[in-house]
Amino acid sequence: MLWLPLPNQINERWQQDFPPVIVRLFEEYLRRWEELRRARKREALWLILLTLTGALALFVPWLPGHLWGSIGGFGLALAVFYRYRRVSSQVYHSFVNLNVLHHHLLGKLEVGFCNHVGPCECADEFRHHVWRKYHISLYGDPPGMG
């Protein structure tokens, strides 16, 4: 997955070229993006662990004389399953938060975020800069869906 800088790593030129409201909103967007990326990695780890403990719970009962091992394996698989559900819920929550923030950012870009009196290209310049630097599209498609 693409590495994105943390909000404190955005350079000063970026902050001077665009209004502070949009810079802060985009910094929050990058922070939430990174949070979603970490949560998805954690979810994948727990899914692998769930698969392994599930296989253990399924195959240990076939071994003769391992009654307590099968009960323990089933209990462990059940505990891992509940933990996986909690982590999966956090991933969903982060995904929804990122989509809400994405639509908020798109709304700011549609309304116009600069103080120019006449027509200007500030919003398109910002979209182009974000696409070129971060490979994030602000042209209307939701994040993670493309």
Each residue's pLDDT tens digit, 24-73: 888 999 999 999 999 999 999 999 999 999 888 888 777 777 777 778 88
Band the pLDDT of 3: cuts 50, 70, 90: very low
pTM: 0.73
- Domain residues for 99? 20-113+121-134
Domain membership of residue 69 (yes or no) is yes
Domain membership of residue 15 (yes or no) is no
In this predicted model, what pLDDT tens digit does every residue of 105-139 receive, in sequence order? 888 887 767 766 677 777 788 888 888 888 888 87
Domain membership of residue 25 (yes or no) is yes
Domain membership of residue 95 (yes or no) is yes
Count of domains for the chain:
1
Q: Which residues contact 100 (CB under 8 A, 6 or more apart)?
A: none
Domain membership of residue 76 (yes or no) is yes
d(CA 36, CA 66): 41
Domain membership of residue 3 (yes or no) is no
Domain membership of residue 98 (yes or no) is yes
Tokens representing 99? 């989509």
Per-position DSSP letters for 94-115, written without gaps between them: HHHHHHHHHHHHHHHHHH--S-
d(CA 144, CA 32): 12
pLDDT given for residue 108 in this prediction: 82
Domain membership of residue 143 (yes or no) is no
- Whether the per-residue pLDDT at 15 is higher than 70: the answer is no
- Whether the per-residue pLDDT at 79 is higher than 70: the answer is yes
pLDDT given for residue 88 in this prediction: 96
Q: What distance, in Å, lies between the first and last C-alpha atoms of the chain?
A: 13
State mean pLDDT over 63-88.
86
d(CA 27, CA 116): 23
